[in-house]
Amino acid sequence: MAKRASSEAQESVHVEDIVLLLLKERVEQDLVPTIVPGSGVYYVVAGFHIPAERLLRGSQKGFFEVKRHLSFPSCGTCRSTSLILEILCPSCKTSDLTRIDLVVHYECGYMGSVEEFSTKSYGVVERCPKCGKTLKRVGIDYGRPGVGFRCQNCREIFQYPLVNVRCDGNHQTTLDKVNLERYPVLSLSRESWRVSRFVDMLQIIENELRKSLDLDVSILEMVRGRSGVPHLIHMLIRSSDKDVALMVLDEQTELTEAMNVVSKNIDLGIHFIVLMDERKAEELSRLLNPQYFTVIPVNFQNVDEIRYKLVESVYSIVAARGV
Ligand SMILES: [Zn+2]
Ligand SMILES: [Zn+2]
Ligand SMILES: [Zn+2]
């Protein structure tokens, strides 16, 4: 029997539900990985933060296609992307620093904050606090190199602090030794997008099958085949002994898509019900061996007819299997 790829433990939001939401809302957005500081890489989809590892898990990947990649810095030791930036004193390596406006007295070499050089009015350089000389001309007597830092621990004054990253495993990495992790920017795959044409109908018949036949039914499932490849199934109907897959081949279905359904069937080895546009039935149903496929020709404008025919067909298949 085909193994349900989605039965792995999932903490909160199901990726299938997210995909369904995107299809229903017809949201054609790229799923862009982002760093949540101190926490790692996430995809923000429809307002939900989904850890990248969960979205990129083998079977879930089938819903998406890769558009491009983004790289994020990671720990030089353990490759964690959960990093915080540390600005440290180069002398004593502590982080209690304040920003100061630097002044340097060229003659004696003393460097300090502008406040130390001002005696009377705030911000005007007058006298060197170290040698006591009067300072008049900027660029000649003294310089203003800009912003610097003072360590409140060891009182050292410096222009360039030590910049490190620290990971959630407490490893420290200097900036020149950080690693990079590549994550894909994703969009829904063409095969997923196809479902947006009939996602409303799928939800109606899902409810009908639950209500009328009390079956365990779910829309959009990635089911792993014997080859290990995950296949997108439009609806999975679970009965106690066997699963049944439902696929929709509407009026826009091309021959290659029908062939794709055949290869899914071979790899999954479960019975398929195919809701097929009645105008396509003659052309496409020849591809589908009745031993493995129950083809139901329908008019997709008539949802009531679909409900009726489907319930009847599912009942006969499930009943024939002794449930
Ligand atoms: Zn680390
Ligand atoms: Zn220090
Ligand atoms: Zn001086």
Q: Is 146 left (phi over 0), alpha (psi -120 to 50) or beta?
A: left
Distance from Cα 170 to the centre of ligand 1, integer Å = 6
Distance from Cα 152 to the centre of ligand 2, integer Å = 7
Reported as a single tens digit per residue, the pLDDT across 197-232 is 888 899 999 999 898 888 899 999 888 899 988 899
**Cβ-contact 161, 149 below 8 angstroms:** yes
Q: How confident is the model at residue 321 (pLDDT cuts 50, 70, 90)?
A: low
Q: Are residues 155 and 210 in the same domain?
A: no
Is 67 domain-assigned?
Answer: no
Distance, first Cα to last Cα, the chain? 17
Tokens of 284: 């496409």
Distance from Cα 8 to the centre of ligand 1, integer Å = 27
Distance from Cα 23 to the centre of ligand 2, integer Å = 56
Distance from Cα 122 to the centre of ligand 2, integer Å = 26
Q: Which of 134, 160, 186 corresponds to the end of one domain?
A: 160
pTM score: 0.69
Q: Are residues 127 and 212 in the same domain?
A: no
Q: Are residues 228 and 310 in the same domain?
A: yes
Is 114 domain-assigned?
Answer: yes
**Ligand that comes closest to the CA of residue 169:** 1
Q: How confident is the model at residue 166 (pLDDT cuts 50, 70, 90)?
A: very high
Q: How confident is the model at residue 176 (pLDDT cuts 50, 70, 90)?
A: very high
CA nearest to 323, candidates 250, 219, 214: 214
Is 54 domain-assigned?
Answer: no
Q: Are residues 210 and 131 in the same domain?
A: no
Q: Are residues 265 and 209 in the same domain?
A: yes
Q: What is the largest CA-CA distance in the chain?
A: 104
Reported as a single tens digit per residue, the pLDDT across 69-121 is 999 999 999 999 999 999 999 999 999 999 999 999 999 999 999 999 987 76
Is 5 domain-assigned?
Answer: no
Between 150 and 16, where is the model more confident?
Answer: 150
Q: Identify the domain containing residue 298 by its residue range.
A: 197-320
Is 233 domain-assigned?
Answer: yes
For residue 3, pLDDT over 50 is answered with: no
**Cβ-contact 103, 111 below 8 angstroms:** yes
Distance from Cα 106 to the centre of ligand 3, integer Å = 7
**Ligand that comes closest to the CA of residue 151:** 2
Q: Are residues 230 and 126 in the same domain?
A: no
Q: Are residues 201 and 316 in the same domain?
A: yes
For residue 254, pLDDT over 80 is answered with: yes
Distance from Cα 219 to the centre of ligand 3, integer Å = 78
Read off the DSSP letter of residue 134.
B
**Ligand that comes closest to the CA of residue 107:** 3
**Cβ-contact 177, 68 below 8 angstroms:** no
Distance from Cα 97 to the centre of ligand 2, integer Å = 8
Is 21 domain-assigned?
Answer: no
Burial class of residue 19 (count of CB atoms within 10 Å of its CB; 0-12, 13-18, 19+)? buried
Distance from Cα 149 to the centre of ligand 3, integer Å = 19
Distance from Cα 121 to the centre of ligand 2, integer Å = 29
For residue 7, pLDDT over 60 is answered with: no
**According to the model, what pLDDT value does residue 320 have?**
66
Q: Which of 144, 160, 176 corresponds to the end of one domain?
A: 160
**Ligand that comes closest to the CA of residue 84:** 1
**Ligand that comes closest to the CA of residue 171:** 1
Q: Count up the domains in the chain and report the number.
A: 2
Q: How confident is the model at residue 2 (pLDDT cuts 50, 70, 90)?
A: very low
